[in-house]
Amino acid sequence: MFAIIKAATSACLLLATMTVPITGASASDQPILDAVEANGAAQLQLLEATVNQNSGTLNVEGVRAVGKIYARELEDIGFTVRWIDMPETMARGGHLVAERNFGEGPNLLLIGHLDTVFEPDSPFQRFERDGDTVRGPGVTDMKGGNAVVIYAMRALIEAEAIKGGKVTIFFTGDEESAGNPLAEARKDLIAAGKAADYALNFEGGSAEGAVVGRRGSSKWKLEVTGKRAHSSGIFGDDSGAGAAFEMARILNRFYGEVRGPHGLTFNPGMVVAGSTIAPVGSAGAVTVSGKDNVIAETAMASGGLRFMNDTQLRAAQALMQGIVEDSLPHTQATITFEDRYPAMELTKANEALLDRLNAVHARLGLDPAKSFPPEKRGAADISFVAPYVASMDGLGVAGTGSHTVEEEMDLGSLQQATRRTALLVADLLGGDLPQ
Give the tens place of pLDDT for each residue, 297-316. 999 999 999 999 999 999 99
pLDDT tier, 359 (very low <50, low <70, confident <90, very high otherwise): very high
| Number of domains the chain contains | 2
Q: Which of 341, 363, 397 is the last residue of a domain?
A: 341
CATH code of the domain containing 326: 3.30.70.360
Same domain, 313 and 360: no
Whether residue 324 is found in the same domain as residue 384: no
Q: What pLDDT shows up at residue 23? A: 55
* Co-location of 209 and 221 in the same domain: no
- Domain final residue pick, 308, 341, 374: 341
Which of 27 and 339 is assigned the larger pLDDT? 339
Whether 55 is in a domain gets the answer yes
Q: pLDDT at position 187, please?
A: 97
Q: Which of 166, 131, 106 is nearest to 389 (CA)?
A: 106
Q: What is the pLDDT of residues 231-286, one digit of tens each?
A: 999 999 999 999 999 999 999 999 999 999 999 999 999 999 999 999 887 667 89
Are 196 and 101 members of one domain?
yes
Q: Rounded to whole angstroms, what are the CA distances from 326 to 81, 233, 308?
A: 55, 22, 27
Of the listed ranges 106-115, 289-298, 308-317, 372-381, the least confidently predicted one is 372-381
Domain assignment present for 325: yes
Shared domain for 62 and 153, answered yes or no, is: yes
Domain identity same for 69 and 192: yes
Q: Is residue 151 part of a domain?
A: yes
DSSP β-ladder status, 370-371 and 399-400: unpaired
Same domain assignment for residues 376 and 305: no
Residue 215 has what DSSP assignment? -
- Nearest in space to 371 (alpha carbons), one of 345, 403, 399: 345
Question: With 70 as the cut, is the pLDDT of residue 423 above it?
Answer: yes
pLDDT digits (tens, 9 = 90+) for 34-63: 999 999 999 999 999 999 999 999 999 999
Together in a domain, 116 and 168:
yes
CATH number at residue 7: 3.40.630.10
Note whether residue 435 is domain-resident. no
Q: Are residues 330 and 204 in the same domain?
A: no
Whether 55 and 135 map to the same domain: the answer is yes
User: Residue 8: is its pLDDT beyond 50?
Assistant: no
Q: Domain for residue 388, yes or no?
A: yes
Domain encompassing residue 131 = 2-214+344-430
pLDDT at residue 410 tops 90:
yes
Domain stops at, among 341, 358, 377: 341
Measure Cα distances from 51 to 32, 111, 131, 144, 305 in Å. 26, 18, 18, 9, 33
Section 193-221 average pLDDT: 94
**Residue 301 and residue 266 in one domain:** yes
Mean pLDDT, the chain, rounded, equals: 92
- Predicted local confidence at residue 282, as pLDDT: 65
Percent of the chain past pLDDT 70, that is, above it, reads 93
